[in-house]
């Protein structure tokens, strides 16, 4: 959906595009000069109008309406730009193309009544002037939409029809490593917190079922108001994307976070998401024994087979 959002031209580019196309229109041959000039003038006005209107309509159609947007996308957009300003800009584009149609209709009516070529040219010139000022008036809206588009392009496309596992946990506990071991995704893994800055998606085949695995940035056990943008993205994904949550615990003492703080975050996610949550212990190769039913190592591969069986069980699909 976001990949269908077209590039946004600047006001000047739209005006140039319309005027240069109209400049190529010539008078038809084989009729008298005045009639020919009239046809040419009408063609120019309607060409300028139709190119601009088609373009503005396309923008209004292809930029997603926030009324029908998935709540998770809405949260992400809300973090990147002012949604109300976005809606206003789209509204202004809509209004402007109606205004352009009205201006062209009036000018064409007036052209039809003119007898002198000089008067016809004046009507066209006036129309061009009014047209250009309507488009120039859209400058800041077009710039705003262009910036919105840049943000939209960075949003990963979740497939709401696929069974989904969301990977959650504190920073540095091994979320991205697990996503990389299980799925097609190759997220960056590093030994410091907040390596993952955005939501990313990998795919995994379980039996005949294609499954989506969503990596999220780490979240600290602290009040929502103190959380950074990465944590907010993670919380939004965990609460608003349908799926089951795999909550990772690291008891190896290498993540830098205590068991208590991991438990506190776990309780928060249980309460806020209202979802089924599966507890998984990570880095079993570095830990002193298993403390959870499911304990894995993304480094040695230990426990990954069992984990996949459990996931298949949760989805009620057969793996053999
Ligand atoms: N020994 C061992 N190290 C692991 C394992 N899983 C992850 N690590 C290491 O732990 C560190 C953090 O791993 P990541 O997968 O980046 O952790 P993350 O939870 O995605 O971290 P953020 O994106 O910062 O929240 C890296 O240095 C990994 O190599 C594991 O199973 N065993
Ligand atoms: Mg990560």
- Say if residue 119 is in the same domain as residue 243: no
pLDDT of the residue at 198:
93
Q: Is residue 240 a part of any domain in this protein?
A: yes
- The mean per-residue pLDDT over the stretch 204-224 comes to 95
DSSP 8-class letter at 197: -
pLDDT tens string 250-272: 999 888 899 999 999 999 999 99
Percent of the chain beyond pLDDT 70? 99
Q: Is residue 57 a part of any domain in this protein?
A: yes
**Range of the structural domain that residue 248 is part of:** 164-315
- The mean per-residue pLDDT over the stretch 151-175 comes to 94
Q: Which atom of ligand 1 is nearest to the CA of 215?
A: 20
- Say if residue 175 is in the same domain as residue 142: no
pLDDT tens string 10-35: 999 999 999 999 999 999 988 899 99
- The mean per-residue pLDDT over the stretch 166-179 comes to 97
Residue in 220, 221, 176 with CA at minimum distance from that of residue 195: 176
Residue in 234, 230, 244, 229 with CA at minimum distance from that of residue 169: 234
Query: 170 vs 132, 177, 264, CA distance in Å?
Result: 54, 13, 10
- Say if residue 216 is in the same domain as residue 261: yes
- Say if residue 86 is in the same domain as residue 126: yes
pLDDT of the residue at 315:
87
- 41-50, 107-116, 155-164, 169-178: which has the minimum mean pLDDT? 155-164
Residue in 230, 214, 219 with CA at minimum distance from that of residue 182: 214
Q: How far is the CA of 270 from the centre of ligand 1 (A)?
A: 23
pLDDT tens string 42-90: 999 999 999 999 999 999 999 999 998 899 999 999 998 999 999 999 9
Point out the ligand nearest to the CA of residue 297: 1
Point out the ligand nearest to the CA of residue 187: 2
Percent of the chain beyond pLDDT 90? 89
pLDDT of the residue at 318:
60
Establish how many alpha carbons lie within 13 A of residue 17's alpha carbon, considering only the half-sphere containing its beta carbon: 14
Q: Is residue 121 a part of any domain in this protein?
A: yes
Point out the ligand nearest to the CA of residue 193: 1
Final residue before a domain boundary, out of 153, 172, 196: 153
- Say if residue 120 is in the same domain as residue 149: yes
Final residue before a domain boundary, out of 101, 125, 153: 153
pLDDT of the residue at 137:
98
Residue nearest to atom 11 of ligand 1 (CA): 191
Q: How many Å apart are CA 172 and CA 168, to the nearest integer? A: 11
Q: How many other C-beta atoms are found inside a 10 Å radius of the C-beta of residue 82?
A: 13
pTM of this structure: 0.85
What domain count does the chain have?
Answer: 2
Instruction: Collapse the DSSP code of 315 into the 3-class scheme (helix H, G, I; strand E, B; otherwise coil) and give the result.
Output: helix
pLDDT at 217 exceeding the cut of 80: yes
pLDDT at 320 exceeding the cut of 70: no
- Say if residue 143 is in the same domain as residue 19: yes
What CATH number does the domain containing 6 carry? 1.20.120.1190
Q: How many Å apart are CA 77 and CA 103, to the nearest integer? A: 35
Q: Which atom of ligand 1 is nearest to the CA of 282?
A: 31
pLDDT at 103 exceeding the cut of 90: yes
| Pairing mode of beta strands 164-169, 209-215 | parallel
Q: Is residue 159 a part of any domain in this protein?
A: no
Q: Is residue 158 a part of any domain in this protein?
A: no
Residue in 141, 147, 52, 64 with CA at minimum distance from that of residue 102: 52
Q: How far is the CA of 165 from the centre of ligand 2 (A)?
A: 15
- Say if residue 101 is in the same domain as residue 226: no
- Say if residue 229 is in the same domain as residue 304: yes
Q: Is residue 320 a part of any domain in this protein?
A: no
Q: How many Å apart are CA 236 and CA 168, to the nearest integer? A: 12
- Say if residue 179 is in the same domain as residue 300: yes
Q: What is the dihedral of CA 57, 62, 63, 67, to 10 degrees?
A: 100
Q: How far is the CA of 115 from the centre of ligand 2 (A)?
A: 73
pLDDT of the residue at 105:
98
Residue in 199, 204, 209, 210 with CA at minimum distance from that of residue 176: 199
Q: How far is the CA of 193 from the centre of ligand 2 (A)?
A: 8
Backbone phi, psi, residue 46, to 5°: -75, -25
- Say if residue 172 is in the same domain as residue 274: yes
pLDDT of the residue at 207:
87
- Name residues whose C-beta falls within 8 Å of residue 19's C-beta, 6 or more positions apart in sequence: 48, 128
Establish how many alpha carbons lie within 13 A of residue 174's alpha carbon, considering only the half-sphere containing its beta carbon: 26
Instruction: Collapse the DSSP code of 132 into the 3-class scheme (helix H, G, I; strand E, B; otherwise coil) and give the result.
Output: helix
Final residue before a domain boundary, out of 94, 129, 153: 153
- Say if residue 102 is in the same domain as residue 231: no
Residue nearest to atom 27 of ligand 1 (CA): 191
Q: What is the dihedral of CA 244, 186, 228, 153, to 10 degrees?
A: -100
Q: How far is the CA of 306 from the centre of ligand 2 (A)?
A: 22
Q: Which atom of ligand 1 is nearest to the CA of 180?
A: 15
Angle at 233 between CA 76 and CA 293, to 5 degrees: 140
- Say if residue 291 is in the same domain as residue 206: yes
Q: How many Å apart are CA 73 and CA 160, to the nearest integer? A: 12
pLDDT at 138 exceeding the cut of 90: yes
Angle at 75 between CA 144 and CA 145, to 5 degrees: 10
- Length in residues, the chain: 320
What CATH number does the domain containing 243 carry? 3.40.50.300
Q: Is residue 209 a part of any domain in this protein?
A: yes
Q: How far is the CA of 175 from the centre of ligand 1 (A)?
A: 6
For ligand 1, residues with CB inside 6 Å are 169, 171-177, 189-191, 193-196, 217-218, 282-283, 285-286, 297-299
Q: How many other C-beta atoms are found inside a 10 Å radius of the C-beta of residue 104?
A: 22
pLDDT at 145 exceeding the cut of 90: yes
Residue in 317, 312, 310, 296 with CA at minimum distance from that of residue 179: 296
Q: What is the mean pLDDT of the chain?
A: 95
């Amino acid at each position: 959906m976001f990949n269908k959002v077209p590039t946004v031209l600047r006001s000047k580019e739209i005006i140039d595009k319309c005027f240069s196309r109209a400049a190529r229109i010539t008078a038809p041959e084989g009729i008298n000069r005045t009639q020919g000039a009239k046809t040419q003038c009408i063609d120019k006005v309607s060409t300028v109008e139709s190119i601009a209107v088609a373009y503005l309509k396309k923008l209004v159609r292809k930029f997603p309406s926030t009324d029908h947007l998935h709540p998770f996308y809405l949260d992400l957009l809300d973090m990147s730009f002012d949604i109300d300003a976005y809606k206003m800009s789209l509204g202004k584009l809509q209004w402007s193309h109606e205004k352009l149609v009205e201006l062209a209709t009036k000018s064409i009516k007036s052209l039809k009544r003119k007898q002198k070529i000089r008067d016809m040219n004046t009507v066209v010139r006036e129309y061009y002037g009014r047209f250009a000022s309507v488009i120039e008036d859209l400058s800041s809206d077009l710039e705003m939409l262009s910036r919105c588009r840049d943000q939209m392009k960075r949003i990963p496309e979740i497939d709401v029809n696929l069974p989904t596992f969301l990977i959650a946990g504190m920073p540095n506990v091994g979320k991205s490593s697990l996503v990389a071991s299980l799925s097609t995704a190759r997220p960056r893994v590093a030994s410091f917190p907040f390596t993952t800055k955005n939501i990313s998606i990998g795919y995994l085949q379980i039996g005949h079922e294609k499954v989506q695995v969503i990596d999220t940035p780490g979240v600290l056990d602290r009040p929502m108001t103190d959380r950074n943008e990465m944590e907010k993205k993670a919380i939004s994904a965990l609460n608003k994307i349908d799926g089951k949550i795999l909550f990772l615990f690291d008891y190896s003492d290498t993540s830098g976070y205590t068991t208590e703080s991991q438990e506190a975050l776990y309780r928060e996610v249980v309460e806020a998401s209202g979802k089924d949550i599966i507890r998984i212990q990570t880095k079993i190769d570095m830990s002193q024994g298993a403390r959870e039913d499911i304990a894995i190592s993304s480094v040695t591969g230990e426990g990954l087979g069992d984990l996949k069986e459990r996931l298949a069980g949760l989805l009620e699909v057969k793996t053999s």
